[in-house]
Chain A
């Protein structure tokens, strides 16, 4: 998994690409979330459009990120979720946990409105 982070206004946009499947991915994402929160940014948008697939361990990593951000009083949203990951969210009912958007633009607007 590869990551990059940039700020758009007061939202940290974390772009992920490759495979999200556990191992070092968990540490990498946990560190990014921790650093972002420590910098005082509690609005995080994960762009997972570049993620080709996620296994159940990868789902666990996304959930852990969501829990960390929510417990810190922030918001974590996802954008550009592909059909395969959407199918996985439906089966596991995680669509009720993650707020998802088709585009970064829509997601950023939702942060501004909230």
Chain B
């Protein structure tokens, strides 16, 4: 990709409809293609960002369609940073982080895997909750471009 064509920041906002996560998936796919990510890294990015969006829509906004979910992608030569923001009340981060969906008693649980998936597929995952303003999830993926 020509140097002058490389964006440093991309922003996308979608309504709180799960169907619109398809757009986010396509954005991740295109970023992976343009930056030369391996298939595993490309999948990890798309899966994790879609998970963060799913959480924002389902838990942050309770499927309230009018509420916007903001995605910000910051791209550098060696890392991709994604920020996903909802306007919900947030959640008990420690409680969610301590949940292990791969434990024998939880393996068949119908839910509770989203953040676990993000933590296992991305290099860094962090959360910021501001009362009255919303919840920000930050995801970072280091990458080494595949030779073109």
Contact = CB atoms under 8 A, between A and B. Distances in A.
A22 B58 CA distance: 10
A88 B63 CA distance: 24
Nearest to A90: B120
Given A23-B18, A59-B113, A53 B46 contact: yes
Interface in A43-90: 52-53, 55-57, 59-61, 63-64, 66-67, 83-84, 87-88
B108 A97 contact: yes
Contacts of B58: 22, 57
A84 B111 contact: no
Interface SS of chain A: helix
Interface string A8-41: 0000000000010111000000000000000000
Interface residues of A, number: 26
B46 to A, nearest CB: 7
B37 interface: no
B69 to A, nearest CB: 14
B46 A92 contact: no
B107 interface: yes
A63 B117 contact: no
B5 interface: no
A113 interface: no
B50 A53 contact: yes
B13 interface: no
Contacts of A91: 116-117, 120-121
A71 to B, nearest CB: 11
A93 interface: yes
Given A22-B58, A91-B117, A93-B102, A55 B51 contact: yes
B14 to A, nearest CB: 13
Contact of A92 (B22, B40, B102, B110): B102
Give the one of B58, B113, B114 with max A CB within 10 A: B113
A55 B110 contact: no
Contacts of B75: none
B101 A92 contact: yes
Contacts of A66: 108
A64 B110 contact: yes
B54 A55 contact: yes
Contact of B18 (A21, A59, A84, A94): A21
Nearest to B116: A92
B47 interface: yes
B30 interface: no
